[in-house]
Homo-oligomer: A and B are copies of this chain.
Amino acid sequence: MTRSSRPRRRLPPAQRRRQLIEAAVELYGRRPLSVDDITEAADVSRALFYRYFANPAELFATASRSAIDGLVGRLTAPREGTPDEQLRAGLTEFLDFVAERPAAYVAVIRNSSAISAETGGLVNEVRDAVIAMIKQRASLPDTPMLDLTLWCWTAVTEEATLRWLNRGEPDQAELVTWLIGQLYAMVTATLKIVS
Protein backbone atom coordinates (compact mmCIF):
# COMPACT_ATOMS: atom_id res chain seq x y z
CA MET A 1 0.00 0.00 0.00
CA THR A 2 2.95 2.31 0.22
CA ARG A 3 4.86 1.03 -2.80
CA SER A 4 6.62 3.81 -4.56
CA SER A 5 6.35 3.92 -8.33
CA ARG A 6 10.07 4.50 -8.87
CA PRO A 7 12.01 1.34 -9.66
CA ARG A 8 14.11 0.16 -6.74
CA ARG A 9 17.74 -0.77 -6.90
CA ARG A 10 18.64 -4.36 -6.13
CA LEU A 11 20.65 -4.45 -2.94
CA PRO A 12 22.43 -7.34 -1.28
CA PRO A 13 20.46 -8.62 1.75
CA ALA A 14 22.88 -7.26 4.37
CA GLN A 15 22.74 -3.80 2.82
CA ARG A 16 18.94 -3.96 2.53
CA ARG A 17 18.67 -4.94 6.15
CA ARG A 18 20.96 -2.07 7.13
CA GLN A 19 18.86 0.34 5.04
CA LEU A 20 15.65 -0.67 6.81
CA ILE A 21 17.27 -0.23 10.19
CA GLU A 22 18.65 3.17 9.29
CA ALA A 23 15.32 4.42 7.98
CA ALA A 24 13.60 3.33 11.16
CA VAL A 25 16.21 4.76 13.51
CA GLU A 26 16.02 8.05 11.65
CA LEU A 27 12.20 8.09 11.87
CA TYR A 28 12.12 7.41 15.59
CA GLY A 29 13.99 10.55 16.32
CA ARG A 30 11.28 12.77 14.88
CA ARG A 31 8.01 11.00 14.31
CA PRO A 32 4.77 12.37 15.73
CA LEU A 33 1.74 10.20 16.50
CA SER A 34 -0.91 10.33 13.78
CA VAL A 35 -4.39 11.72 14.27
CA ASP A 36 -5.78 8.22 13.61
CA ASP A 37 -3.70 6.78 16.44
CA ILE A 38 -5.26 9.23 18.85
CA THR A 39 -8.86 9.16 17.59
CA GLU A 40 -8.82 5.36 17.61
CA ALA A 41 -7.51 5.27 21.16
CA ALA A 42 -10.02 7.90 22.29
CA ASP A 43 -12.82 6.37 20.15
CA VAL A 44 -13.77 9.67 18.57
CA SER A 45 -14.00 10.90 14.98
CA ARG A 46 -11.25 12.76 13.17
CA ALA A 47 -13.62 15.72 12.76
CA LEU A 48 -13.94 15.88 16.51
CA PHE A 49 -10.17 15.84 16.94
CA TYR A 50 -9.79 18.80 14.58
CA ARG A 51 -12.32 20.81 16.52
CA TYR A 52 -9.84 20.75 19.42
CA PHE A 53 -6.38 20.59 17.92
CA ALA A 54 -4.68 21.36 14.60
CA ASN A 55 -2.47 18.26 14.86
CA PRO A 56 -1.03 15.78 17.40
CA ALA A 57 2.05 17.91 18.05
CA GLU A 58 -0.21 20.77 19.09
CA LEU A 59 -2.12 18.44 21.38
CA PHE A 60 1.10 17.44 23.11
CA ALA A 61 2.44 20.93 23.29
CA THR A 62 -0.84 22.02 24.88
CA ALA A 63 -0.96 19.09 27.29
CA SER A 64 2.64 19.53 28.35
CA ARG A 65 2.40 23.28 28.59
CA SER A 66 -0.66 22.98 30.81
CA ALA A 67 0.94 20.17 32.84
CA ILE A 68 4.00 22.22 33.69
CA ASP A 69 2.00 25.42 33.75
CA GLY A 70 3.10 27.33 36.76
CA LEU A 71 5.69 24.67 37.71
CA VAL A 72 8.67 26.78 36.71
CA GLY A 73 7.13 29.78 38.47
CA ARG A 74 6.53 27.76 41.63
CA LEU A 75 10.00 26.21 41.60
CA THR A 76 11.79 29.50 41.06
CA ALA A 77 9.60 31.63 43.38
CA PRO A 78 11.53 33.62 46.00
CA ARG A 79 11.73 31.65 49.23
CA GLU A 80 12.59 32.28 52.86
CA GLY A 81 15.28 30.40 54.73
CA THR A 82 18.78 29.07 54.23
CA PRO A 83 19.78 27.78 50.78
CA ASP A 84 19.32 24.26 52.13
CA GLU A 85 15.78 25.06 53.31
CA GLN A 86 14.93 26.73 50.02
CA LEU A 87 16.17 23.73 48.07
CA ARG A 88 14.20 21.39 50.31
CA ALA A 89 11.01 23.41 49.82
CA GLY A 90 11.52 23.53 46.04
CA LEU A 91 12.16 19.79 45.73
CA THR A 92 9.20 18.96 47.97
CA GLU A 93 6.99 21.12 45.79
CA PHE A 94 8.31 19.41 42.67
CA LEU A 95 7.63 15.91 44.06
CA ASP A 96 4.14 16.95 45.19
CA PHE A 97 3.49 18.23 41.68
CA VAL A 98 4.66 14.99 40.09
CA ALA A 99 2.78 12.77 42.54
CA GLU A 100 -0.47 14.46 41.49
CA ARG A 101 -0.03 13.43 37.84
CA PRO A 102 2.36 10.47 37.72
CA ALA A 103 1.25 9.04 34.33
CA ALA A 104 1.68 12.35 32.53
CA TYR A 105 5.06 12.89 34.17
CA VAL A 106 6.33 9.45 33.19
CA ALA A 107 5.10 9.93 29.60
CA VAL A 108 6.70 13.36 29.22
CA ILE A 109 10.05 12.41 30.73
CA ARG A 110 10.35 9.00 29.10
CA ASN A 111 9.30 10.17 25.67
CA SER A 112 9.91 13.88 25.61
CA SER A 113 11.98 13.98 22.44
CA ALA A 114 10.01 11.16 20.80
CA ILE A 115 6.74 13.06 21.25
CA SER A 116 7.77 16.31 19.66
CA ALA A 117 10.41 18.99 19.72
CA GLU A 118 7.94 21.05 21.75
CA THR A 119 7.75 18.69 24.71
CA GLY A 120 11.49 18.03 24.62
CA GLY A 121 11.78 21.81 24.72
CA LEU A 122 9.50 22.07 27.75
CA VAL A 123 11.52 19.56 29.76
CA ASN A 124 14.66 21.51 28.91
CA GLU A 125 12.89 24.72 29.86
CA VAL A 126 12.27 23.39 33.38
CA ARG A 127 15.85 22.12 33.63
CA ASP A 128 17.32 25.43 32.45
CA ALA A 129 15.17 27.48 34.83
CA VAL A 130 16.17 25.33 37.80
CA ILE A 131 19.85 25.46 36.82
CA ALA A 132 19.81 29.25 36.43
CA MET A 133 18.12 29.62 39.83
CA ILE A 134 20.62 27.35 41.61
CA LYS A 135 23.59 29.13 40.02
CA GLN A 136 22.23 32.50 41.01
CA ARG A 137 21.20 31.65 44.58
CA ALA A 138 24.41 29.75 45.32
CA SER A 139 26.59 32.31 43.48
CA LEU A 140 28.19 29.52 41.48
CA PRO A 141 30.69 30.34 38.72
CA ASP A 142 29.59 30.23 35.09
CA THR A 143 31.69 27.40 33.62
CA PRO A 144 30.77 24.70 31.10
CA MET A 145 31.72 21.91 33.53
CA LEU A 146 29.49 23.35 36.22
CA ASP A 147 26.63 23.69 33.74
CA LEU A 148 27.18 20.05 32.79
CA THR A 149 27.10 19.10 36.47
CA LEU A 150 23.84 20.92 37.20
CA TRP A 151 22.32 19.59 33.99
CA CYS A 152 23.21 16.05 35.05
CA TRP A 153 21.79 16.67 38.52
CA THR A 154 18.44 17.56 36.94
CA ALA A 155 18.70 14.21 35.12
CA VAL A 156 19.45 12.51 38.45
CA THR A 157 16.36 14.19 39.90
CA GLU A 158 14.21 12.96 37.00
CA GLU A 159 15.56 9.40 37.17
CA ALA A 160 15.22 9.22 40.95
CA THR A 161 11.68 10.61 40.67
CA LEU A 162 10.69 7.96 38.10
CA ARG A 163 12.09 5.25 40.37
CA TRP A 164 10.31 6.74 43.37
CA LEU A 165 6.98 6.77 41.49
CA ASN A 166 7.60 3.22 40.36
CA ARG A 167 8.74 1.69 43.66
CA GLY A 168 7.13 3.91 46.27
CA GLU A 169 10.42 4.21 48.15
CA PRO A 170 12.34 5.87 49.72
CA ASP A 171 9.77 8.14 51.36
CA GLN A 172 9.49 11.65 49.98
CA ALA A 173 11.47 13.41 52.72
CA GLU A 174 14.30 10.88 52.41
CA LEU A 175 14.42 11.36 48.66
CA VAL A 176 14.61 15.14 49.07
CA THR A 177 17.50 14.81 51.55
CA TRP A 178 19.30 12.44 49.20
CA LEU A 179 18.84 14.74 46.18
CA ILE A 180 20.26 17.70 48.11
CA GLY A 181 23.23 15.58 49.23
CA GLN A 182 23.84 14.51 45.61
CA LEU A 183 23.71 18.11 44.38
CA TYR A 184 26.29 19.28 46.93
CA ALA A 185 28.55 16.29 46.26
CA MET A 186 28.37 16.62 42.46
CA VAL A 187 29.02 20.37 42.49
CA THR A 188 31.86 20.06 45.02
CA ALA A 189 33.57 17.37 42.94
CA THR A 190 33.35 19.54 39.83
CA LEU A 191 34.62 22.69 41.58
CA LYS A 192 37.65 20.66 42.72
CA ILE A 193 38.49 19.82 39.10
CA VAL A 194 37.70 23.26 37.70
CA SER A 195 39.70 25.28 40.24
Binary flags per residue of A159-180, CB closer than 8 Å to B gives 1, else 0: 1100100000110000001100
B53 touches A20 (CB 8 A): yes
Flag if A24 contacts B59 (CB, 8 Å).
yes
A153 CB to nearest chain B CB (Å): 8
A44 touches B20 (CB 8 A): yes
Closest to A45 in B: B3
A27 at the interface (CB under 8 A from B): yes
Q: Is A136's beta carbon under 8 Å from chain B?
A: no
In the complex, the answer to whether A149 meets B182 with C-beta atoms within 8 Å is yes
Output the nearest chain B residue to A104 by Cβ-Cβ distance: B25
Per a CB cutoff under 8 Å, which of B19, B37, B53, B156 touches A42?
B19
Give chain A's interface residues, CB within 8 Å of chain B. Answer: 1-4, 6, 8, 13, 16-17, 19-29, 31, 33, 36-46, 48-49, 52-53, 56, 59-60, 62-63, 103-104, 106-107, 110-111, 113-115, 144-145, 148-149, 151-152, 155-156, 158-160, 163, 169-170, 177-178, 181-182, 184-186, 188-190, 192-193
**15 pairs of residues in contact across A and B, judged by CB atoms under 8 Å:** A1-B36, A3-B45, A8-B44, A20-B39, A20-B49, A20-B52, A24-B33, A27-B33, A29-B107, A148-B160, A148-B178, A151-B163, A155-B159, A185-B185, A185-B186
